[in-house]
Structure 1
Amino acid sequence: MDTADQERLAAAFATMATNVNLRLANKPVPGNAGTSDPILGLIHEFASEGKVRAMGEAFHEFKRRHSSNASFVAPKILGMITEYWRRQSALPSAEKTKHLALWESLHPDWAAELAHALQTPSAFEATVEQMLREQNGLIGGPVPVMAGYADVDRNAFAKLYLGSGDQLSGSEEQEFETAFDACAAAIAAQDEGKYQKVRVWVEDAGFIDFPLIGDYYTYWVANPEP
């Protein structure tokens, strides 16, 4: 982190300390900012500027000073990294989200790996950039095709079911014009972690579940229609 960014980090900690003191004195905090907001704001700025190493260093210093809040801040940084990946992707804007969902389906442990790497700034930077290279390597690259994947029509009418329990009764239902779009939405919903049951129903094929939802989507992306 260069001198200017170190000064920005010091200013963020100073603002954070001021806000804490205001709360202790039962006085209003400007903008009703949360305790960690000044640091999160700065880390978000670093992400927008492409300064991944500075993100890791800012978190490392935050954890050193405020270890009890580190578990709250870390997941938010992972969300910033997915936005960083979208900005750095070589794909057209309309394809970036689907492409990231494809990569995530092929690397289900990516969040845990990145959270572990976040504990060391150099490892965090290296892991973020390695994962970005893997994502860009998928563009136009070969993806294994398994027998039977072509049996489900990607353009068939489909429904997405999102449930809070093991059963589908009472679950949220969404309709999609194509199975392709339904599977993309299912992957996004699965990543959110809000639902215990995520299923896709495809006309003339019936229900499909994870991990097959990710497998079908991977196949369709890797084998576009002529």
Structure 2
Amino acid sequence: MGISGVKAIIFDVYGTLFDVHSVIEKCEELYPGHGQQISELWRTKQLDYAFIRHIIGRYRPFDEITRNALQYACEQLGVSLTKENEQELLQAYLKLAPYEEVPQALKQLAGSYQLAVLSNGSPSMLHPLVEYHQFNPYFSQVITVDDVKQYKPSPAAYNYALEQLDCRREEILFLSSNTWDITGAASFGFQTAWVNRKHAVFDYMGQKPNQIISNLDELVRLLEGK
């Protein structure tokens, strides 16, 4: 389909700009031999809890969901989650590693486009993470669904982001590594680029991204016409 007429770019955060599994190192440090299992189950339940709470109309902030998902993962895997370990692991989420190309790509894109993030993350999670990596100068808005109590891929979440930007919806390019997020944004009317870092197959949900890229360097080249 291609991309055209872009004025603003909105980024998903977890899995798109930052590697959620960079917490494996801390998980492994605290629970040798279980690091990868904890990280993977933690992320799976984090998403499950957000979707289920949205469907049943019982919204809770993402920081609370993240804590609950960690508690589940540790209990399911039979490891003891002390208060000290819980705090260390939750703190690790505030210092997730960005993917290698992200800092330079954001710097390049910020010179030509209005950049923002739209995340299911709570303000208490998003702002420390962005500030820790000194990405603040690149983003005009750090938008959280906590303001509308509607998790992506609800149309209300994307509409809230649209209201924060001085653009028409078709002038916004939305990026995510999550197919459910791309599906929601495309259905809402944003142009979309799926960041397919894992060379996966796009879900069959009636929507397709305008563009598929493997990293943000490809996005820079695409928008520069190279």
TM-score normalised per structure 2: 0.29
Q: Which has the higher helix share?
A: 1
- In terms of Rg, which structure is larger? 1
Q: Which has the higher strand share?
A: 2
TM-score normalised per structure 1: 0.29
